[in-house]
Structure 1
């Protein structure tokens, strides 16, 4: 019941079985041919040995069995190879489609991903769920279908020869390929669910630990850091050991059932095939033909016992719904044509239960203008940048560029916007590759020129590998200020007319911060800049300051004008400068 319920509204398994059904049927037929050749090989071998033992008057009397033995001996590995080739080809095609679909689904909901999932969940999704579906096909579906087909074919064949014996063998095979697998699922279901839960917690814990490793070290709690996941690991190991013990006992039971089938065949063949010498030649042949079938029958239980893991993955994947593309017809706005960005009475709230984050915010930013957004933490400054980018949609009001809605230029928005945030991500590749991320079509000389403009030429050329230096994981080879300058070089290559700065100097010392701000506003002097900042350091570089609070815009104007006319701004500026 749970099996059929899981697949009732499934859109991650059934559609691909239908899409590649031709390849699937081919793989299943090749699997059947493999089992047939294995059984036929043992049958002809047994018959040849028995026939040869009767001293035939002419070698030609056993020539045909010898040829068949050779043919089936060659056919078994050939069909096995082709079956593996086709089945893995089928699975890889399906999982390739699944991974592409998963990435697109997560990408469409990237802005809100952390609202619905923990950071470590993404590791579980990518490393576990798709792999589980791959194992579902290879370790459960293929072996189960082939074993069921073999059971039906063998039972019918025996039933034609002897209905009673055919039905009796069918019952034994039914226990082997159906009842014992179901028993395995019932026993292991809760245990596997527990293992999945513990492993998921481990992913989340390890992710948190890695992201916060500096804080653990600084606090002097190295031993606590090392032991934090030890209990979960111990619990997981204990549960896995119980699963291993159960599998050993279950496989022993399966072997005993199969041995019972062999004994039944021995008794049956001796009772029905010993009336004359010619019939007796088939006794060992028939019994030997049974043995290779164990390779197809016994693995069924092994695949079934993992069904709880597969079911959990299928259910979780089916809860992922891509955000529907509701964008209007897209317009290709050339970067050179940008003139004006307007935010008209913009309000925003994440949902009806949350307070209004931004209320009736309006601004007009013209080409080349530099604007600084200030305000207390949590007031929605970064959210305004997300609204400008189009990652979020205003609850009320509208945002336009050259009278075009911001949602009309999303397909090519990288031509209009570039972003420098608090912690730019640097990939563990060369410095050249990291900078060229801004524009892959730029030449090496242009990349080097960008690094020179942001003040890194002297540093880079002092390194042993110079521009081919690996930046390390998340840019660990370079300091925070240097990482920001590398990201700034990307922006220069991207050459978008609007640059959004989301507190890029957070965590830097005052001297480094001031030097970086001087560099940013010098190299971006011809760009339109919207700068979110938490204090007034470097505010002299902007044309306009907008200070927002919970209710509205508290003050706005040029920094020079506000310093002269607004006492609050003057006090904040003097406090920030230590005056």
Structure 2
């Protein structure tokens, strides 16, 4: 009964259960080899015990000990061989299965990234990758395989004892029942919740550590680094406390488990002494055989309590992975849009578990071809607005549409309409050609050279020894900041989206490089809708419209000329930005 929650999760499972059928032959082989490993171990001790006792009693015929000698050798060789082959088979099966699980997880996350971002943070994804997939691997190696093998041995031992004594077979049925059911059940009831709590705390640490490391500069600049360290240490202490409770219970359970094994050994001694007195040279021959065979068999049952108490954790991992399928949005045919106008109507947004509105009641229309700059200080909501425009998030209230279709409904198709150049464009560890073709996999080499010329990188790439086949260092570190941004622009030009979102692409560049990059951006993107998220006013005169967002609301709006003529605040900000 203690495994019913796991069984319920497996009934609707779409991640693990299919592999039970796909690789069933290898699965059956692994189970058979696991059974034979323990069978050989028990049989080795059985024949060894009989052989030792029989040899000590001066047998009348050498054949009385010759057969046990041969069997001892056979079982002695068979045990490590079966063990080795079983490990190869089971681990090969599990690793093959988990490699496909990781591939499926990657494809699911990559395909539905926009939708997952509404629910999961980066730490959640790391938790999925680092914890849940490993738990699924352990589900087979530490729970399913050992449990099935133990039950097969259980049946085999009871049937075997039944040939000698039905009443003692019944006694051992009850005693072995304690090993395969009672101890695991107690472990689930007493330790299962702690095991699940341990996993939850670990996942929380993944989330907090990832989020805080990615935002470490904010902690440092706000002079709250000690507060962060104290918070993290407090979470670690919770984990240590849970793990200490787990270890304390496991030590106590293992102590009683060994006492229980001693009870079973005494029961075997008493039964064999009564059952075989006067037979085949004395009771000692069979006492040693039966009692010694018990101890290697116990290894098959000793792992069951730990395996059982982890079923709650495995159930949670299965549910989390299968929940990804419910988050996924099926691929629809191309969404019909009549215009490329972006419309915001009474748009408000706040993040889950936070009451503060990041954006509050925005109304805005961005017609096709408009050049719009969105300004505001850090935390004003401009980056969140950009994320909503891309469809990575859904508004809490109101609407944000592209061609009268909510942007969060486009899925992967949003990349056909909106291209993005971020603060730190990422270049992958592959060739320059492959990096640029991310924007358009069908682009020809001639088209790639053409866009490189447009962004001012053609001569640079031509001077490289391997040209377009030059390997890019991890994160593109061989290129300067300005060159990486020009590479990102080349991707956008190959992608040829009608709308381009520039998310503070010039942060960290010197003024000369920044101005040259701005001129290149606006010169090459002159026929497209441009939404420029920025924090200062260099190059602002090339925009048709400027918005200032303050505390989630639009405070100023107009063309650069209108704001220069009517807004003292705009004139002051522009003067400060220009160093006047």
TM-score, normalising length: structure 2: 0.77
Tell me the distance in 1 between the aligned counterparts of 2:306 and 2:523.
Answer: 66
Quick check: 2:132–2:317 contact (8 Å CA) kept in 1? Answer: yes
Tell me the distance in 2 between the aligned counterparts of 1:228 and 1:431.
Answer: 43
Tell me the distance in 2 between the aligned counterparts of 1:31 and 1:270.
Answer: 32
Tell me the distance in 1 between the aligned counterparts of 2:521 and 2:443.
Answer: 21
Q: Quote the offset at 1:226 in angstroms.
A: 4.7
1:371 aligns with 2:366: no
Q: Quote the offset at 1:167 in angstroms.
A: 1.8
Tell me the distance in 2 between the aligned counterparts of 1:382 and 1:214.
Answer: 17
Of 566-575 and 496-505, the range deviating more from structure 2: 566-575
Q: Quote the offset at 1:392 in angstroms.
A: 6.8
Choose which of 269, 274, 277 in structure 1 pairs with 2:277.
Answer: 274
The 5 Å alignment of 1:111-150 reads 111-150=114-153
Tell me the distance in 2 between the aligned counterparts of 1:346 and 1:241.
Answer: 54
- 1:424-467 CA distance string (max 9 Å, x none): 3455788887566546788999989977865679999999x996
Q: Quote the offset at 1:296 in angstroms.
A: 0.2
Quick check: 1:536–1:573 contact (8 Å CA) kept in 2? Answer: no
The 5 Å alignment of 1:493-508 reads 494=495, 498-506=499-507
Residues 327 and 215 of structure 1: is their aligned pair in 2 closer, same or farther, counting only changes over 3 Å? closer
Tell me the distance in 2 between the aligned counterparts of 1:243 and 1:344.
Answer: 55
Residues 100 and 168 of structure 1: is their aligned pair in 2 closer, same or farther, counting only changes over 3 Å? same
The 5 Å alignment of 1:391-470 reads 399-400=402-403, 414=415, 417-426=418-427, 437-438=438-439, 454=455, 470=473
The 5 Å alignment of 1:480-491 reads 483-491=484-492
Choose which of 252, 260, 265 in structure 2 pairs with 1:262.
Answer: 265
Quick check: 1:105–1:322 contact (8 Å CA) kept in 2? Answer: no
Q: Quote the offset at 1:298 in angstroms.
A: 0.8
Choose which of 290, 294, 317 in structure 2 pairs with 1:290.
Answer: 294
Tell me the distance in 2 between the aligned counterparts of 1:285 and 1:278.
Answer: 13
- 1:130-177 CA distance string (max 9 Å, x none): 212221222122212221222232123223421221122222222222
- 1:36-65 CA distance string (max 9 Å, x none): 122222223333344444555665554443
Secondary structure of 1:424's aligned partner: coil
Choose which of 152, 155, 158 in structure 2 pairs with 1:155.
Answer: 158
Quick check: 2:123–2:210 contact (8 Å CA) kept in 1? Answer: yes
Q: Quote the offset at 1:517 in angstroms.
A: 0.7
Match in the other structure for 2:172: 169
- 1:319-351 CA distance string (max 9 Å, x none): 445345455434999xxxxx9734579776669
The 5 Å alignment of 1:161-560 reads 161-218=164-221, 226-277=229-280, 280=283, 281-323=285-327, 325=329, 328-330=332-334, 341-343=340-342, 362-365=365-368, 369=369, 371-374=371-374, 399-400=402-403, 414=415, 417-426=418-427, 437-438=438-439, 454=455, 470-471=473-474, 483-492=484-493, 494=495, 498-506=499-507, 510-524=511-525, 529-533=530-534, 536-542=537-543, 544-545=544-545, 547=547
Secondary structure of 2:500's aligned partner: strand
- 1:188-247 CA distance string (max 9 Å, x none): 234334433432332233223312333444566666555542333344334423432332
Of 441-450 and 523-532, the range deviating more from structure 2: 441-450
Quick check: 1:109–1:322 contact (8 Å CA) kept in 2? Answer: no
- 1:355-390 CA distance string (max 9 Å, x none): 99787755543xxx5622446689987677667756
Unaligned runs of 5+ in 2: none
Of 89-98 and 178-187, the range deviating more from structure 2: 89-98
Secondary structure of 1:520's aligned partner: helix
Residues 211 and 429 of structure 1: is their aligned pair in 2 closer, same or farther, counting only changes over 3 Å? farther
Q: Quote the offset at 1:532 in angstroms.
A: 4.2
Of 216-225 and 405-414, the range deviating more from structure 2: 405-414
Tell me the distance in 2 between the aligned counterparts of 1:39 and 1:501.
Answer: 70
Match in the other structure for 2:570: 572
Quick check: 1:47–1:285 contact (8 Å CA) kept in 2? Answer: yes
- 1:110-129 CA distance string (max 9 Å, x none): 33545434442222222112
Tell me the distance in 2 between the aligned counterparts of 1:148 and 1:137.
Answer: 15
Quick check: 2:383–2:533 contact (8 Å CA) kept in 1? Answer: yes
Secondary structure of 1:171's aligned partner: helix
Secondary structure of 1:418's aligned partner: strand
Tell me the distance in 1 between the aligned counterparts of 2:228 and 2:328.
Answer: 42
Root-mean-square deviation (Å): 4.8
Choose which of 80, 83, 88 in structure 2 pairs with 1:77.
Answer: 80
Secondary structure of 2:371's aligned partner: strand
Tell me the distance in 2 between the aligned counterparts of 1:323 and 1:15.
Answer: 14
Of 94-103 and 253-262, the range deviating more from structure 2: 94-103
Secondary structure of 1:322's aligned partner: helix
More RCO (CA 8 Å, sep 6+): 2
Tell me the distance in 2 between the aligned counterparts of 1:192 and 1:406.
Answer: 41
Tell me the distance in 2 between the aligned counterparts of 1:409 and 1:316.
Answer: 25
